[in-house]
Structure 1
Amino acid sequence: MVVLNDIESVTEALVKRKAEFANRPNLPSLDKLSNGRKNIVFANYTPAWKLHRKIAGKALRQYLAGKHLEEVLHNSMHKCLPLMAEEKEEFDPEPIIDLMVFHMLNSVCFGKSTELNDPEFQDFIKKDKKFTELIGKGFVEDMFPIMYKIWTTQKYRKITEIFDVIAERYRKKLEEHKKSFDRDYIRDFTDALILARQEAEDEEDKEVLSELTDLHLVNTISDIFGAGIDTSRVTMYFAVHYMAGLPEIQAKVHEEIDRVVGKNRLPGVKDRENLSYTEATLHEVMRLGTAVPVGVPHSTLCDTTVGGYDVPENTMVMINHWALHHDPNYWKDVDTFDPTRFLNEEGKLSMKPESWLPFSAGRRVCLGESVAKPELHLMFASIMQRFKISLPEGTSPEILIGGGGAAIQPAPFKIIVKERK
């Protein structure tokens, strides 16, 4: 395995050499947890993968062209913010943030608003969180592949059982959408995905397109839903914790939201361009609280080089996003929370800092970036518009890291919220 720890080597590999580092490693668990590499995240870099990603990207653009995202996010906020307001004492915000993110992405993918106490929805949240917890720590079977044939661990059997249940839910949703599909009335991302595939039938290589089955679409939904949930909820955990421990930063966010949005409506997509300090604060959260510290593993497609070193074909390559975001060569006072790093002299968002790469880059840049950025911004702005957040008396503002494996998060913490009058 090769680990790239600075932006120069990462840029050389992902941007300059592009396809040479665009494959995925040969791990048997990735085959199982993507129905034979039929998703976008884990599939190898092939003509079919490129067309698959192109269709999914077009579906996202079609979905985001309307007001769908803002509507479903506002719906989730109207349901979940009152739950936070009911908390009169110190409490753990994680369950409410989970509800916000799950409800919002469920609506993005499947259109229908779900009641928060719906048993099927609650069971899905539990299964997805357990799945994320187990998969993040890897598999002994990948180190000793013979075990797949003679004896698998209890953990592997449990996670494949959960995966099959979740995948079946997505398959049923796709079938329901295909039966009621109307190309003139796109209800959600699943509809947009069906439409994009239909349009591709008139435009793309028929032989390559024939490789993209309904199972590929099911796995695309899984990519948007699964990856979107895990990174979004962890980012919001960090955001709430940082604000609770940084009252001066929080006050500036409050002032900007009050000035731009007011208090009589929720922040909207069009407000985002005028909420620069709020967005810069979120960017600093994503820098210091890097949700997926080493991303998804890459693999070399051929013999290549990086940083003057030879890297053979089929070498696993990891991008150390945590190191990029904490590199003292690029960040002054690296451990200080400072949103102004992302602002220009006029107080507007400046160009993206060179060593800030939460969504990766190159051929494998995060497909859901275009959804994640406005979604996180509106969610964060909506919480900050309504509440002043603080830590319980005697609690240190220092954030301890919990979790482990593919994703990290703050160690369990409690906050106090007060509605802003």
Structure 2
Amino acid sequence: MDMVRVCVSLCVCVCVCVPCMTCCLFDLLTIRLIGRFAGIINTEGKMWKEQRRFLHERLRHFGMKHMGDGREKMENRIMIEVYQMITELADKKSAPVELGSYLSSAVSNVICSLLMSVRFRHDDPKFIRFTNLIDDGFKLFTVTAAAGFIPILKLLPAFNYAFNKIRQNFGEISNFYQEIVDDHKRSFDANNIRDIIDGYILEIQNAKEEGRSEQLFNGKNGDRQMQQIIGDMFSAGTETVKTTLQWATVFALREPHMQARVQEELDRVVTRFRMPMLDDLPNLPYTEAFMLEVMRRATAVPLGTTHSTSRTTTLNGFTIPKGTQVIPLIHAVHMNPALWKDPEVFNPERFLSADGTKVVKPDYFIPFGVGRRVCLGDVLAKAELFLFFSSLLHTFTLTVPQGASVPDLRGQAGVTVSPQTFQVCAKARYVENVVEGETQSSREPFNVFPCLPYLSCPVQ
């Protein structure tokens, strides 16, 4: 309990004291421009509760659950993109690549299939433009956010430029989202709900027929709500997963003996005749512990989603007025030496039981946030992190390009804290064949894909 109290004390900060780095902490003017209190991230009260409940039900319908019927839908969506990414990496034949672009398109397509039943190639001009607009927006928000704490900054030319650029980018992104909504309306079939957007269209139709349109979305425009939901889920569901996987690659390069230990565990449990599946996770404690330690040590999202006090209260002797924005300091908790021994050291074994056979997660491990605004897509994110990372190491050995330095741990601040740009060589692993009692290495890289017939299935 003492540890938990320390965690709670560290985990809360009144927003007027802390400059922000994440999209959750824009000043009020920026939120009104971008979110107009639509979507789910920038809403509160009754509308937030209704939207979270509706999205939770829809996501579970499409397989976002820990167990039970339908989970294979989620797994199939992810594995289709895993297969595509690994195929593209294999085509590079161990040449140095910047893994970020491959991860970006792969992770984005998982959420795109769930949201709007589309997928993009990583070199698709429309996709590149779309992701560039979002990336630019996240960088510009770090400029405008400071004005929420120092209002006089709004008078500076740099702020005006950033604010106007955000307005321009937002208009272009909104048009992109509206094209998706319009396409769905034209092909909508109430008997075949394909994705989240179809789910919203059905809900809007039902509300109209039942005479509750004015209550739905607090009377706000339905198209505007769908645009913002696409934006909220795409932003939250891609950047964090991609960045965490990039950090996992960094630590695999920095700690090759740990990478080898993950591969040994995968070979032993999964075997060399198929790819990892979600059902394998309970039998892969070290692999899971490695990813948990990545999430702790890197903490891609250092500040959690903003909360607000519903009444005046006190914390550690300080009075916090009603309506104060409260920000969970996730990075501070994950790097607190009172909670973690040698927190600067990357050590997956801190998440293992004494005998190394079970994963142990303390209460103060909070990568997906805290409270009622904890990440809505944590089930999907956990599945993506495991399947992408384990499949990558099951198929390749990751090495630093010849003559290059090992990536350091200095991050770049934006909506997430991402690694500095780096390249990696993905060398196909070879399978050991036993021939006449002697172990010999085959000349062909290990091919796991024919053993996965569901990878050829369309997204459903």
8 Å CA contact retained: 2:11, 2:333: no
Q: Structure 1 pair 274/308, CA: closer, same or farther in 2 (3 Å)?
A: same
The reply on whether 1:27 has 2:28 as its aligned counterpart is yes
Provide the rounded CA distance (Å) in 2 between the counterparts of 1:380 and 1:96.
13
Deviation at 1:341, TM superposition (A): 2.1
Q: Which residue of 2 aligns with 1:254?
A: 263
Structure 2 partner of 1:20 = none
Residue 239 of structure 1 deviates from its aligned partner by 0.5
1:166 and 2:173 correspond: yes
Provide the residue aligned with 2:47 in structure 1: 48
1:39 aligns with 2:48: no
Structure showing greater radius of gyration is 2
Question: Which residue of structure 2 lines up, in the alignment, with residue 155 of structure 1?
Answer: 162
Q: 2:284: which partner in 1? A: 275
The question of 1:97 aligning with 2:96 is answered no
Query: What residue number does 1:63 align with?
Result: 62
* Alignment correspondent of 1:18: none
**Aligned 8 A contact 1:387 1:419 in 2:** yes
Q: Structure 1: how far apart are the matches of 2:361 and 2:158?
A: 48
Q: Which residue does the alignment assign to 1:403?
A: 412
Task: State which of 59, 76, 79 in structure 1 corresponds to 2:81.
Answer: 76
- 1:414 matched to 2:399? The reply is no
Letter in 2 for 1:294: L
Give the whole-Å Cα distance in 1 for the aligned partners of 2:415 and 2:422: 21
1:176-201 superposed Cα distances (whole Å, 9 cap, x missing partner): 22332334433233334445667789
TM-score normalised over the length of structure 1: 0.85
Deviations 1:47-88 (A, max 9, x none): 121111111111111111353322222222222223322053
Alignment of 1:382-401 (within 5 A): 382-392=391-401, 397=406, 399-401=408-410
Q: CA deviation at 1:107?
A: 2.1
Q: 1:227 to 1:206 in 2, by over 3 A?
A: same
Contact 1:38 1:219 (8 Å CA) reproduced: yes
Check conservation: 1:62, 1:192, Cα contact below 8 A: no
Residue 308 of structure 2 is aligned to residue 302 of structure 1: no
Q: Which shifted more, 163-172 or 182-191?
A: 182-191
Instruction: Give structure 1 stretches of 5+ with no counterpart.
Output: 15-22
Contact 1:300 1:316 in 2 (8 A): yes
What is residue 452 of structure 2 aligned with on the other side?
Answer: none
- Measure, in 2, the Cα distance between the counterparts of 1:96 and 1:210: 36
Q: Against the structure 1 CA distance between its residues 168 and 322, is the aligned structure 2 distance closer, same or farther, given a 3 Å change threshold? A: same
Alpha-carbon shift at residue 25 of structure 1 (Å): 7.8
Q: Deviations 1:182-235 (Å, cap 9, x if unpaired)?
A: 344332333344456677899998764351642223212211111111111110
User: Percent of pairs identical after alignment?
Assistant: 31
For residue 231 of structure 2, the aligned residue among 222, 229, 236 is 222
- d(CA) in 1 for partners of 2:371 and 2:94? 46
SS at match of 1:138: helix
Task: Compute the TM-score of the two structures, normalised by the length of structure 2.
Answer: 0.79
Match of 2:8 in 1: 8
Alignment pair present for 1:341 and 2:350: yes
For residue 117 of structure 1, give the secondary structure of its aligned residue in structure 2. coil
Number of the residue aligned with 1:118: 124
C-alpha change, 1:117 and 1:95, in structure 2 (3 Å) is closer
SS in 2 for 1:106: helix
What is the deviation of 1:327? 1.0
Identify unmatched segments of 5+ residues in structure 2: 15-23, 64-69, 431-460
Alignment of 1:330-369 (within 5 A): 330-345=339-354, 347-369=356-378
One-letter amino acid matched to 2:216: L
Instruction: For 1:91 and 1:58, locate their aligned partners in 2 and report how far apart those are by CA, in whole Å.
Output: 39
CA RMSD in angstroms comes to: 3.2
Shift of 1:393: 5.2
In 1, Cα distance between the equivalents of 2:38 and 2:152?
Answer: 21
Q: After superposition, give the CA deviation of every residue in 1:233-273 in whole Å (9 maximum; x if it has no partner).
A: 11011000100111121112112222333344332333333
Higher RCO, 1 vs 2 (CA within 8 Å, ≥6 residues apart): 1
Distance 1:302 1:207, change over 3 A: farther
**Structure 1 contact 90–416 (Cα < 8 Å) conserved:** yes
Displacement of 1:91: 3.4
Contact 2:278 2:383 in 1 (8 A): yes
Q: Distance in 1 between matches of 2:372 and 2:39?
A: 15
Task: Quote the residue 1:17 is aligned against.
Answer: none
